[in-house]
Amino acid sequence: CRFSQMLHPIFEEASNVIKEEYPDKNQVVFARVDCDQHSDIAQRYRISKYPTLKLFRNGMMMKREYRGQRSVTAIADYIRQQKSNPIREVQDLEEISSLDRSRRNIVGYFEQKDSDNYRTFERVANILHDDCVFLSAFGAISKAERFSGDNVIYKPPGENAPDMVYLGSLTNFDLIYAWTQDKCVPLVREITFENGEELTEEGLPFLILFHMKDDLESLEKFQQEVARQLISEKGTINFLHADCDKFRHPLLHIQKTPSDCPVIAIDSFRHMYVFPDFSDLSVPGKLKQFVLDLHSGKLHREFHHGPDPTDIAPGQPIQDLASSPPESSFQKLAPSEHRYTLLREKDEL
């Protein structure tokens, strides 16, 4: 790969620069993988373009890969930024009352910084600092909030949103990480021009609500039904919402326009499948069955061969399947020889 060959000396020189600043080999490790020779590693981490730069923390691959300039200075600066403290220490509890409540805030109150509780909190913050704001208070400053010992509190977006307290062990990394991730990463995320490629690289199909920007009612219904019907499917499919006006091109792939919104669809990265009727969203189990039909292959099969005979009610017309099923539009956002069509749309806006 010509681009990999071009990056190789730059990557190596950046590693030497960082090695001088962080001589402890356990602080920063630069590594390279020949994906022809180790295709199992490439497959495990869903590497589909070369060269790809991934960041790992505590053995976990971070969602956001490095997308900056391919230069020694830029890569070294990126590592320095990643080594900076992700937790802001507050000097007065008044700072907590004036937090930006449009953000997701995680606040830890600890007796002392040199403790197992805080070290676990710091590990979690290192991984999730792109998704939440992390703050901490210690000693006398935090004492008023430590009436039952060290604790961690989530302050969700919204001025009147109630705080949520973590009730598990503060030294159990897996528990506190799972709790914090659940709070910092919304179940239903917005897909934008900026994060679309990143979401695609997570390797999961999309369940997308297309809605008008000011149609918050439909979004709330979708969020409620995803939480009610599909929480068990988290990890097998990404739940997203998209602005109909900005994402006209994917809508065209399913023969829809913004005037048809709200529309729910699944993008499997092979084809896009439309949920028949948004008004059926609240029918118990209907949305879940739509997702299960994706996993079972039923949606793909029916697009190519027509409805399963057992699914056709007497007198129900069979869908005209003479034309090819709509191909994935979001797939073009994945790294490949194609460019994502939405990026062209963005240039035209």
- For the chain, residues with pLDDT lower than 70 are 308-349
Cα 140 to Cα 303: distance, rounded to the nearest angstrom: 64
The pTM of this model reads 0.66
What pLDDT shows up at residue 259?
94
Residue 87: phi and psi, rounded to 5, are -115, 130
What pLDDT shows up at residue 302?
83
Q: If we measure between CA atoms, which residue out of 127, 168, 172 comes closest to residue 151?
A: 168
Cα 7 to Cα 56: distance, rounded to the nearest angstrom: 19
C-alpha torsion angle, residues 239, 55, 127, 21 (rounded to 10): -160
Q: If we measure between CA atoms, which residue out of 232, 349, 320, 255 comes closest to residue 263?
A: 255
Q: If we measure between CA atoms, which residue out of 270, 212, 269 comes closest to residue 241?
A: 212
Give pLDDT tens digits for 233-266: 888 899 999 999 999 988 988 999 999 999 999 9
Left, alpha or beta for 49 (phi > 0: left; psi -120 to 50: alpha)? beta
CB neighbour list of residue 345: distance below 8 Å, 6 or more residues apart: 246, 248, 249
Sign of CA dihedral 201, 207, 211, 216: negative
What pLDDT shows up at residue 277?
93
What is the number of other CB atoms lying within 10 angstroms of the CB of residue 200? Answer: 25
Quick check: 191 and 239 in contact, CB under 8 A?
no
Q: If we measure between CA atoms, which residue out of 229, 246, 232, 134 comes closest to residue 190?
A: 246
Quick check: 284 and 290 in contact, CB under 8 A?
no
- What is the set of domains in the chain, with CATH numbers? 2-83 (3.40.30.10), 87-184 (3.40.30.10), 189-334 (3.40.30.10)
Q: Identify residue 191 by its one-letter amino acid code.
A: I
Element housing 238 (H / E): strand 238-243
What pLDDT shows up at residue 327?
61
